[in-house]
Amino acid sequence: MPHLSRAQVQSFHQNGFLSPLPAFTGDETLELRQRVESIEAAAGAGKERAARAGLPVTHAWAWDLVHDPRIVDPISDVLGDDVLLWSMDWFIKEPGPSFVSYHQDATYWGLEPHHVATAWVALSDAGPRTGPMRFIRGSHKGPLYEQDDTFEDNNLLSRGQRVKTDVDESRGVLAPLAAGEMSLHHVRIIHGSDPNRTSDRRIGMVLRYCATDVRQTKVDGDRAILVAGEDRYGHFEMIPPPCNRRRRRGARPRPPTRPHATQGTDGGLTGHRPGQGATPSQRSFYASERCTSWPSTAASTLLVQISSPSAIPPLTYTVSPLTRRMSTSRNASRLSAPTTYIRPFACNAVRGTTTTLASSRPRISASTNMPTVSGDPLLGS
């Protein structure tokens, strides 16, 4: 996809959306759909939401997708040269009564100013009968409405969000897409979609981008990925690339993103530097601390067991790779070490091996379909 024309950029700012735009070939689109559905299947029924969390962090192909110039170049044309990827998700509408009520994303995302745009990439045909998105032309220039959390049956939004206003349907524009095409829409535009009346699922990959001057106003510690230009504001913690991402032939290794590069095994609390005082066999493992990304897994969560030579019993935690937040249902109070956050750093280990570092502190064992590795956890308060 080349850069947008001046007329296309003007159309986006005038109408609040732009559709359709060419993006991927048929083979590329099929491969993306297969990747999504394989992750979904591996996660199991009822666990798809967890599997969708943090895709660019856990899957190298997703990291490459959010940086793809066929998406990033048009996004940069409407947002400016300096762009962050704020979140990535997929959206599947099965055949049946499910729908999406009219809503405005800006109401509840907490991103300000509203220099935010979503790229919606169709991984299946999203024709008129599949319930494609419907945009209310020009509504991004109007008020930001309050929204009711209706929790309606068959509403695909998490809380059934619906704008508190009479929507002018005469300004509605249906935006069907062929597989491999994409649309762009403004964070303030009113949009929704009808049920899917076909026999195939309607699958879309949703990539939410913002300019680097945008800040998160609702939560602390939000994270993002720099995909174009430079970040001169520092409103988000920058996410480094996955350790298992394949570099192009001849490309130099990318340096680690600070401040992660200088953190020690206690998240910078002790001042310990990676590799300092380590044996040769340990040194390569310490070096991987500098990459705080996650190994690629079928699901987007890791089961982490923390054990210790002391009387603390082993605990099993579920960890979100995007937020690094852990949760457990038993014995949490008996773990003396701080456990609010954890960063597995074992992504450079060899498949099938186990590496152990001598330590009096609790050890981490990450149980995934990747190698099982033990060593000091990166713990934070």
Please give the tally of structural domains in the chain.
2
Mean pLDDT in residue range 309-321: 38
Is residue 193 included in any domain, yes or no?
Answer: yes
Tell me how far apart the alpha carbons of residues 117 and 188 are, in angstroms, rounded to a whole number.
Answer: 9
Residues 183 and 311 in one domain: no
Task: Assign residue 146 the CATH number of its domain.
Answer: 2.60.120.620
Residues 261 and 232 in one domain: no
**For residue 27, pLDDT beyond 70:** yes
Is residue 248 included in any domain, yes or no?
Answer: no
**For residue 353, pLDDT beyond 70:** no
Encode pLDDT of 226-261 as tens digits: 999 999 999 999 998 876 565 444 444 333 333 222
Is there a cis peptide before residue 20, judged by omega within 30 degrees of 0? yes
**For residue 263, pLDDT beyond 60:** no
The HSE-up count of residue 8 (CA atoms within 13 Å, CB side) is 18
Q: Would you report the helix, strand and coil content of the chain in percent, each value rounded to 5?
A: 20, 25, 50
Residues 219 and 267 in one domain: no
What pLDDT is stored for residue 306 in this prediction? Answer: 36
Q: Poorest-confidence range of 10-14, 48-52, 154-158, 174-178?
A: 48-52
- Over the chain, what is the mean pLDDT? 72
Residues 61 and 185 in one domain: yes
Encode pLDDT of 80-109 as tens digits: 999 999 999 999 999 999 999 999 999 999
Residues 282 and 311 in one domain: yes
Taking CA atoms, 77 is separated from 45, 80, 82, 286, in Å, by: 39, 6, 10, 41
What domain range includes position 345?
A: 255-381
User: For residues 45 and 69, which has the higher predicted lDDT (pLDDT)?
Assistant: 69
Is residue 243 included in any domain, yes or no?
Answer: no
Is residue 289 included in any domain, yes or no?
Answer: yes
User: For residues 15 and 368, which has the higher predicted lDDT (pLDDT)?
Assistant: 15
Cβ contacts of 175 within 8 Å, gap of 6 or more: 17, 19, 20, 132, 133, 134, 135, 183
What pLDDT is stored for residue 244 in this prediction? Answer: 54
Residues 93 and 163 in one domain: yes
Q: Would you say 183 and 21 are in contact if contact means Cβ atoms under 8 Å apart?
A: yes
User: For residues 290 and 96, which has the higher predicted lDDT (pLDDT)?
Assistant: 96
Residues 210 and 71 in one domain: yes
Residues 218 and 294 in one domain: no
What pLDDT is stored for residue 246 in this prediction? Answer: 52
Residues 120 and 233 in one domain: yes
**For residue 319, pLDDT beyond 60:** no
User: For residues 353 and 325, which has the higher predicted lDDT (pLDDT)?
Assistant: 325
User: For residues 298 and 88, which has the higher predicted lDDT (pLDDT)?
Assistant: 88
Tell me how far apart the alpha carbons of residues 249 and 246 are, in angstroms, rounded to a whole number.
Answer: 9
What pLDDT is stored for residue 52 in this prediction? Answer: 72
* pLDDT classification of 283: cutoffs 50, 70, 90: very low
Which pair of tokens denotes residue 229?
Answer: 């230009």
User: For residues 183 and 285, which has the higher predicted lDDT (pLDDT)?
Assistant: 183
| Total Cβ atoms within 10 A of residue 80 | 14
What pLDDT is stored for residue 240 in this prediction? Answer: 87
- The fraction of the chain above a pLDDT of 90, given in percent, is 56
Is residue 247 included in any domain, yes or no?
Answer: no
For helices 69-79 and 6-15, what crossing angle results, to 10°? 70
